[in-house]
Amino acid sequence: MSRRSLRFSRATCPICGSKEVARDDLKGDLLCTNCGNVVTRRETKSVGKFQIAQQLKREGRLSFSKLRDITGASDDKLFGILESMVRMGLIQEIGGSYSLTKRGSKWYRQRLGQQWGY
């Protein structure tokens, strides 16, 4: 077995029940070193500031649960991102709904420009 970048994780193999499950950092999969089963990642999708800004730009304002539905992120992850965006002054929360600030709109346009290579 190659020793590239396997790291043991705390997961248990659903097939054989072994705790010798390693994370393959190259692929991000979990691999059972006992039976060879590849355990697919059950983590929620990662969500980025740009993605959130994009949704807010499109919809105007969105509630936390709506944003969670759209991005598919976990509560913790989404909350962390939103919190840091509020701290950066990119978004504001009013009455449970998030919307872009002027600064946020500008930030979004700049990011969009970078994406398209302007």
Binding site residues, Zn ion, CB under 5 A: 13, 15-16, 18, 32, 34-35, 37
Provide, rounded to whole angstroms, the least separation between the CB of residue 9 and Zn ion: 13
Q: Which is nearer to Zn ion, 35 or 88 (CB)?
A: 35
Q: How far is the CB of 10 from Zn ion (least distance, A)?
A: 15
**Whose Cβ is closer to Zn ion: residue 19's or residue 102's?**
19
Nearest in space to 61 (alpha carbons), one of 95, 103, 110: 95
19, 26, 44, 64, 95 from 41: Cα distances, Å: 16, 13, 9, 25, 35
How far apart are CB 33 and Zn ion at their closest, in Å? 8
Beta bridge partners of 23: 7, 30
